[in-house]
Structure 1
């Protein structure tokens, strides 16, 4: 079947199935289970109205249970069993084995480094761009260009930046922008940037910062526009300079939004996989937790340790996710 026809059929069947579900479920509810007639019509209407929201929520709850709750429970089970022993329960042995592997601790160190650098730099750059372009006539064009990387997949962005870091032998014309600049400024020979110990992690981080700066800019720009003009005008009347207005007037008012942006990017960093896999596959000291999990599950076929590393990622993500949801709800009040 032609992909275009297949896509069209998927849309038609999917939307049609949803409409049919909601129509027939309401018919069963109103005409079979709680008919609005007879001596108990009023009570039936009330009961039907109590059940109806759950009819609308059921598809989402079912999908979450099938694609989120069940995998979590199954991953936890696999992390406590040995597949080679027929699924025998072995307790925390997989976690112990994982903790003995240098690659796991390399992944933990690198994830911590990503957590320090990427959310901070993305938020700072996003806030800086939001503030500087807010009053410009061509500010919306600049924001559109900076936001554009958000439309690119992580793998696509990785391919672009791999070309930026490309290195050719001495004497060959460099197609990598970074090496071209390096040689133009007096470098003696091209560098294989992604193999440089420690520093290669920062070259990988640059990709995610490039992508997430646009996200931070959009959210923080909206927050800056929401600041009452009266507070800024009062500060100007009192003689405050632009830096004082920004740091003492604007920053305190958008601090909750800054923290939401920060933690949202932190969640992305904890789960980062595509960039590392596409650019280095965890080689040369660039391993991260998600890539370590992938290697264990699908390369080494060690389901126990791979599942244990997945649980570690979930445990790291969950507190930040809960805090982020709480902060978002406070913002909505």
Structure 2
């Protein structure tokens, strides 16, 4: 397929993939019903029951196999690499984890990740909730929602490049092509290299992720707001409640579970943030985060032990939130 046009390659891949899935499910059914447990003879009833018990697992097998190959196996392999020596392969236990705690860059990454966890989910959820409430009240609300959601269609790398241009700085006396510096110099200030200012540069990076995730939060919370029974709102209006009281005391409590899900989902994204930092600062100027730290260890220093240990730390931080999300989702389905 190397000589085919990319569009044709994509079409062929789709045909093969869809055709393969259809073929698998068809022949799996045929094998189960006609070869393994045929529905005929004296044991027909028992065979039908057995086939029906096996059928769901037969259909789930491709997904389970893919999850095992691309999710479970890498986790086990990464854990093994974090416990062995890079060169000899000898078991060293928690030695790599101990080295992590002795590196200033690791603690810088931890500190920055905590800062991201405090700021980004809170702002994204708050702005998303505000946008969901306001866009439902204006005539051109659907257009506004489309514009707010549009950044979700941009990759993190693309967003990083866009915002790096926004923060671009040229020497004093030259025309500023960066929007922020153009505004700043127009107000009488001197051009600033915003991404090199410690602490503040982290907030400038966070703005990019907030810009992207606000659209996601808005869509989910807008659907939740639309699901609130009108009777409760009308009853509050009859009782004399003002718009702020209706919003904070009637609507927000009723969609609190959705707000928590949105918050935790964005938190998962924050814990794995890499592309934005890599594109805009590459972890320099005290902007290091755990995923970028892991990348540096694995693919720049070629220290598989330390890099794998950092990856396991990220996984340990992500897992409780993921479990909570699954628990919450299953609880709501009951």
- Specify the TM-score bucket, using the shorter chain as the normaliser: over 0.9
Q: Report the Cα distance in structure 2 between the residues aligned to 1:127 and 1:24, rounded to whole angstroms.
A: 48
Deviations 1:240-294 (A, max 9, x none): 1111111111111111111000000000000000000011110000000000000
Q: Report the Cα distance in structure 2 between the residues aligned to 1:277 and 1:47, rounded to whole angstroms.
A: 53
1:110 to 98, 101, 112: 112
Q: In the alignment, what sits opposite 1:171?
A: 173
Structure 1 residue 5, shift from structure 2 partner: 2.0
Q: In the alignment, what sits opposite 2:184?
A: 182
Segment of structure 1 superposing worse, 24-33 or 292-301:
24-33
Q: In the alignment, what sits opposite 1:234?
A: 235
Q: Report the Cα distance in structure 2 between the residues aligned to 1:332 and 1:138, rounded to whole angstroms.
A: 34
TM, length-normalised to structure 2: 0.98
| Stretches of structure 1 lacking an aligned partner (at least 5 in a row) | none
Could you say what secondary structure the match of 1:28 adopts? helix
Structure 1 residue 185, shift from structure 2 partner: 1.3
Q: In the alignment, what sits opposite 2:162?
A: 160
Aligned-pair Cα RMSD in Å: 0.8
Q: Report the Cα distance in structure 1 between the residues aligned to 2:195 and 2:185, rounded to whole angstroms.
A: 17
Q: In the alignment, what sits opposite 1:42?
A: 45
Q: Report the Cα distance in structure 1 between the residues aligned to 2:331 and 2:217, rounded to whole angstroms.
A: 19
Q: In the alignment, what sits opposite 1:258?
A: 259
Query: 1:10-159 residue pairs with structure 2 within 5 A?
Result: 10-85=13-88, 87-159=89-161
Q: Report the Cα distance in structure 2 between the residues aligned to 1:39 and 1:161, rounded to whole angstroms.
A: 72
TM, length-normalised to structure 1: 0.98
Q: Report the Cα distance in structure 2 between the residues aligned to 1:22 and 1:228, rounded to whole angstroms.
A: 42
Deviations 1:111-159 (A, max 9, x none): 0000000000000000111111111111111011000000111001111
Q: In the alignment, what sits opposite 1:244?
A: 245
Could you say what secondary structure the match of 2:276 adopts? helix
Q: Report the Cα distance in structure 2 between the residues aligned to 1:331 and 1:157, rounded to whole angstroms.
A: 34
Structure 1 residue 329, shift from structure 2 partner: 2.1
Q: Report the Cα distance in structure 2 between the residues aligned to 1:223 and 1:4, rounded to whole angstroms.
A: 38
Q: In the alignment, what sits opposite 1:281?
A: 282
Deviations 1:16-72 (A, max 9, x none): 111111111111111111011111111111111111111110000000000000000
| Stretches of structure 2 lacking an aligned partner (at least 5 in a row) | none
Structure 1 residue 328, shift from structure 2 partner: 1.8
Q: Report the Cα distance in structure 2 between the residues aligned to 1:279 and 1:331, rounded to whole angstroms.
A: 39
Post-superposition, which runs of at least 4 consecutive aligned residues in structure 1 deviate over 6 A? none
Q: Report the Cα distance in structure 2 between the residues aligned to 1:198 and 1:245, rounded to whole angstroms.
A: 38
Could you say what secondary structure the match of 2:56 adopts? helix
1:7 to 6, 10, 18: 10
Q: Report the Cα distance in structure 1 between the residues aligned to 2:8 and 2:232, rounded to whole angstroms.
A: 57
Structure 1 residue 330, shift from structure 2 partner: 2.5
Q: Report the Cα distance in structure 2 between the residues aligned to 1:322 and 1:331, rounded to whole angstroms.
A: 14
Q: In the alignment, what sits opposite 2:206?
A: 205
Q: Report the Cα distance in structure 2 between the residues aligned to 1:164 and 1:329, rounded to whole angstroms.
A: 42
Q: Report the Cα distance in structure 1 between the residues aligned to 2:255 and 2:10, rounded to whole angstroms.
A: 43
Structure 1 residue 12, shift from structure 2 partner: 1.3
Q: Report the Cα distance in structure 2 between the residues aligned to 1:4 and 1:128, rounded to whole angstroms.
A: 41
Structure 1 residue 170, shift from structure 2 partner: 1.3
Structure 1 residue 309, shift from structure 2 partner: 0.5
User: How many aligned positions are there?
Assistant: 331
Structure 1 residue 324, shift from structure 2 partner: 1.1
Could you say what secondary structure the match of 1:81 adopts? coil
Q: Report the Cα distance in structure 2 between the residues aligned to 1:141 and 1:332, rounded to whole angstroms.
A: 32
